Structure 1
């Protein structure tokens, strides 16, 4: 008897070139084939989930932000910085060369502005610059707005995109302010220095990405100077324990399945939703291209609005309390608890 091996979710894409950004950071420029261009369209600040081979587990999945901008760059580029014990980052930096192939999920993530015409306050540390520079370039290209960037690094050799930031500042007609904070000169960023910078640019939404202690310091500072929580947007990644590339097991038919109407990409789908299944698996089982990434309730890529019915929310780490109050759920976690439901993506 022959068995069909389930096809991995995601897509194999080629590596067009590899760029040495700093001694411990590389950018990987991807060669997206024409038939996948629409699927790989993205918004500034989003990320790719990459499948990385592992001798111990077969593969691991890691998320890397796109440092390119859909408004200024023709190619997709992710930037990877080595971390001391980071299996994924070290494997990519050691093994990926021009002409190699990576298996990736389409762009995803919610760390992306809804309106590029506002003025922006950006905070980045280390490789946290990757989604931030995507937002920065997009705002400068698409509007006449001003962007203020606070960028912390260990030393001047650690500054990723240093030359590009200088070029952008020189050509932005005064619309880009950049403050570099180097640990070798000033120690770790402190509340006083962060607040002095933020107070120069009041009334703006803040976007921040970097190591956890840096993010906590910026969040605390912004709260201390009176910024409302709704105006603080943070990108946080954690290592994925599951395999988002694995196809879901076929759904078992049950007599007590709910009926859900899903509105996605301008189309409406009426589906049977078993009580033991999550909505992402239901959509994938029906052949519908569902938005997802981690499938663990951490990234928010599958966030959608429950407009009718009730669910068991499951793990909702990626949702703010206000999101829950407003009726948002995570499609990779929610299970139905009412006979009929309606969901909008």
Structure 2
């Protein structure tokens, strides 16, 4: 491992490369021993892709959703689709091969089923199927809930996991209502047309959406118009990383009892099965306060758009500088982002799952 990478990163070995379509491949990684790479359907890996000397880039960190399903697939799998002008996606599609080692951070992300639905509506477009198929397979295998999936693509040749989806539809019959929207046949999707494809929702129907922002806007409107509670409509947020989450962080002071800088709040932190009391400076985000104390807090982007540092606020009040990933359901249940939270109370209690 490069000594400049943080301790939470891990080398992953590519054991297979699967050509899904002409412009998409799945990378299968041998799963490391231990719990650090346990994950939930819908989460992602952050990979450290080699950069190019020409533009002075040593590494290109990128987040890719896991298309494998825990409890079903023994290995980790991410699916990468080429994007026009996208360095990392094209590099992986052209160069990834069995035996290659790529550095990865542990799984992260909040695009997971967490509101106990009795029916699921899934919308995906293009590479947005990657986390959705993981959610889909888990729901079908582990529950009895009916699932409706609307999947949009340019044409039949661009449908990722076409054969796998057909196999699931055949295996689960009426439990899986699968609709392909092909722009070559129907044109661009709109809210009214998408809504017409949905079954009548129940009180506890939840919708999960992943794809380009205009598609998710249409799907959100369609789900709401169909009668799905807005608090149960969840979108995956796509944002480019502007920093390097693999960069080593300052060691700071060793973990231990609280320190008491003037005016600091006091935070009781539940992390990795242990409880620690720290002084939390008013002008420092929680993640930095924890890392400065030598505590192994989870994070990925440090920019407020991935959810990798999410925690539950049990007591007190915080102000978040940026939030591009948490929805109203999560905020209502006390979920906050450590990389963006400043204390707004004297005494706080926070807990990391």
SS in 1 for 2:196: helix
Matches within 5 A, 1:25-104: 25-34=24-33, 37-55=34-52, 56-104=56-104
Which consecutive unaligned segments of at least 5 residues does structure 1 have?
none
Q: Is the 8 A contact 2:82 2:89 kept in 1?
A: yes
Could you tell me which residue of structure 1 aligns to residue 231 of structure 2? 230
Shift of 1:186: 0.9
| Alignment RMSD (CA, Å) | 2.3
Question: Which of 300, 304, 318 is the aligned partner of 2:307?
Answer: 300
Deviations 1:120-152 (A, max 9, x none): 111111110011100110011111221111011
TM-score, with length taken from structure 1: 0.91
Could you tell me which residue of structure 2 aligns to residue 259 of structure 1? 266
Deviations 1:164-217 (A, max 9, x none): 111111111431111111111111112232011124555521111011111111
Could you tell me which residue of structure 2 aligns to residue 344 of structure 1? 351
Deviations 1:300-323 (A, max 9, x none): 222222233343422122233565
Could you tell me which residue of structure 2 aligns to residue 213 of structure 1? 214
Aligned-partner Cα distance in 2 for 1:117–1:199:
15
Aligned-partner Cα distance in 2 for 1:103–1:65:
15
Aligned-partner Cα distance in 2 for 1:216–1:255:
46
Deviations 1:55-81 (A, max 9, x none): 233222211111111021111100000
Could you tell me which residue of structure 2 aligns to residue 14 of structure 1? 13
Query: Size of the alignment, in residue pairs?
Result: 340
Shift of 1:47: 0.8
Aligned-partner Cα distance in 2 for 1:337–1:233:
28
Aligned-partner Cα distance in 2 for 1:75–1:326:
32
Moved more, 291-300 or 152-161: 291-300
SS in 1 for 2:118: coil
Which consecutive unaligned segments of at least 5 residues does structure 2 have?
254-258
Matches within 5 A, 1:192-207: 192-203=192-203, 204-207=205-208
Shift of 1:224: 3.0
SS in 2 for 1:45: coil
Could you tell me which residue of structure 1 aligns to residue 161 of structure 2? 161
Shift of 1:228: 2.2
Inter-CA distance 147–324: structure 2 relative to 1 (3 Å threshold): closer
Q: Is the 8 A contact 1:117 1:143 kept in 2?
A: no
